[in-house]
A and B are shown apart, each in its own frame.
Chain A
Amino acid sequence: EIVLTQSPDTLSVSPGERAILSCRATQSVSNNLAWYQQKPGQAPRLLIYGAATRATGIPVRFSGSGSGTEFTLTISSLQSEDFAVYYCQHYNMWPPITFGPGTRLEIK
């Protein structure tokens, strides 16, 4: 089973600043990686798939990069609505599909 780790556990950033979240896989997932945003009491929301492709309706301030085992989600200029938990997820040669443990992005 491919295990995903995310860092940091919690990231404190001021509005308007840039946030960089990392996701690492225990073996290559090629570019079969997605990022989700989840706010309290809500279902997750797909942000990025294919490691770097924004999902429909996702603002351009969200960008993804990486391939193989190292991935990054960058939020270029944080808005108040961006403070949430972010999960990476692989879908390479599944099952199983696995998620990372999440990074909590909080207001500094």
Chain B
Amino acid sequence: EVHLSQSGGGLVQPGGSLRLSCAASGFTFSTHAMHWVRQAPGKGLEWVSGVSATGGSKYYADSVKGRFAISRDNSNNTVYLQMNSLRADDTAKYYCAKDSWIIRGSFDYWGQGSLVTVSS
């Protein structure tokens, strides 16, 4: 059974940093791209970032480019999102999501979400 277990959310001041982790199990992690999607309170879904199966290609939404960095450790089946220079509008629940193919861009399994609150 596929399982994505997230950790690392919390309260951070504007300008601060936070790292989210997503530990995967139940599938061959090294053959699938992984993504992060966020949802601001009461709002819709926003794709944030994706990383290819090998980690060699990384993709970002314009809203986070230059501030966030995605990475993965295929030896530990974990994907990360390093978030720097955080702003109030980054406040959201962040979900990691498994790509439904090698790298398609649809998401067939999701983590439970990590709440990130940016506030002074």
Contacts and interface: CB of A to CB of B under 8 A. Distances in A.
A97 B105 CA distance: 7
Contacts, number: 61
A95 interface: yes
For chain A, give the interface size range.
20 to 34
Interface stretch (B7-15, B42-50, B71-79, B81-89): B42-50
Given A32-B105, A55-B108, A91-B105, A99 B46 contact: yes
B112 interface: yes
Contact of A96 (B62, B100, B107): B62
A97 B97 CA distance: 13
24 contacts: A43-B95, A43-B110, A43-B112, A44-B37, A44-B95, A46-B100, A46-B106, A46-B108, A49-B106, A55-B108, A89-B45, A89-B47, A91-B104, A91-B105, A94-B47, A94-B50, A95-B47, A95-B60, A96-B61, A97-B35, A97-B105, A98-B47, A99-B44, A102-B44
Given A91-B106, A99-B45, A102-B44, 16 more contacts: A32-B105, A38-B45, A43-B110, A44-B45, A44-B95, A45-B110, A46-B100, A46-B108, A94-B59, A95-B50, A97-B47, A97-B50, A99-B46, A100-B44, A101-B44, A102-B45
Interface of A: 32, 34, 36, 38, 43-46, 49, 55-56, 87, 89, 91, 94-102
